[in-house]
Amino acid sequence: MDPRERLPLQLKPLATRDWEPMTIGESSASVWRIAMGESALFLKAEPAHDLSEMADELLRLDYLAEMGFPAPRVVDHVLADDFNWLLMTAVKGRDLTHLGDEPQVLIQVLADGLKRLHALDPANCPFDHSLERRLRDAEANVQAGMVDETDFDDERDGWTAQQVFDWLIANRPEETSRVVTHGDACLPNILCNDGRFSGIVDCARVGVSDRWQDLALACRSLAFNGGQDHVEAFLAAYGAEFDEERFAYYCALDDLF
């Protein structure tokens, strides 16, 4: 069904605009860019269910706005006919997957963006993403059958979601450096404009966690898109050393979300 056919009343004026589906990334929600003259809005939609992250994203976007951090701003949020709709402003720039031919810029923007996010005061962030909390959420996903077992990293190819969860429980590392993290710091979620960091998107998992929650997924995304040399250069620009234990752990944890 064309999403415009089920738009709630509040959003029906958007139906006559040009819609462009956003296919990059692995979100379970559908996202469209809607042209608004020289600017644009973004509309995210997904069926309403107990494990939906849209309500989480709404709260986190409000928090980021309060902190003055560059991210989408909420225009409207509608729950109608068991469907969630979130209308947001656009963030200037393009995601980092478009910088494959400029690896030095890509690496520096990623490092700058995460350093800026991690510099926010965790005492002012109300979202606890400690391992205790994230493991509870992961277990809920496993029990609800919400985990795509065909999309695990190669290291866990052929595993069941329960096996991944059991491994996480058995290999839980100490959390040593808790900061405000993005939670899904892969290249499609970090934006660049004119060679500089311009903001973050897909913010449903923003919360206070070990900084390796972000560094692990950033390193994995860099390795996939550009190779191991990119990882080393990124960590040098960020100011961290590679941590094999935490890298492996947070990548495995991400398989359950």
pLDDT at 87: 97
184 as an active site residue: the answer is yes
pLDDT at 26: 59
pLDDT at 29: 82
Q: How distant, in Å, are the alpha carbons of 130, 202, 212, 229, 253 from that of 126?
A: 12, 18, 19, 36, 22
Q: How far apart are CA 101 and CA 90, in angstroms?
A: 24
Q: How far apart are CA 221 and CA 247, in angstroms?
A: 12
Numbered ranges of CATH 3.30.200.20 in the chain: 3-89
Per-residue pLDDT tens for 180-236? Answer: 999 999 999 999 999 999 999 999 999 999 999 999 999 999 999 888 889 999 999
Per-residue pLDDT tens for 117-165? Answer: 999 999 999 999 999 999 999 999 999 999 999 999 999 999 999 999 9
Per-residue pLDDT tens for 26-55? Answer: 566 889 999 998 899 999 998 888 878 898
Q: How far apart are CA 78 and CA 7, in angstroms?
A: 10
Q: Which fold has domain 3-89?
A: Phosphorylase Kinase; domain 1 (3.30.200)
Query: Exposed (0-12), middle (13-18) or buried (19+): which is 129, by Cβ within 10 Å?
Result: buried
Mean predicted confidence (pLDDT) in 53-69: 96
Q: Which of 184, 202, 214, 254 is catalytic?
A: 184
- Residue of 122, 97, 124 lying closest to 213 (CA atoms): 122
Q: Which fold has domain 94-254?
A: Aminoglycoside 3'-phosphotransferase; Chain: A, domain 2 (3.90.1200)
Mean predicted confidence (pLDDT) in 1-9: 79
Q: Which amino acid is at 218?
A: A
| pLDDT of 1 strictly over 70 | no
Numbered ranges of CATH 3.90.1200.10 in the chain: 94-254
Q: How far apart are CA 113 and CA 129, in angstroms?
A: 19
- The rounded Cα 233 to chain-centroid distance in angstroms is 22
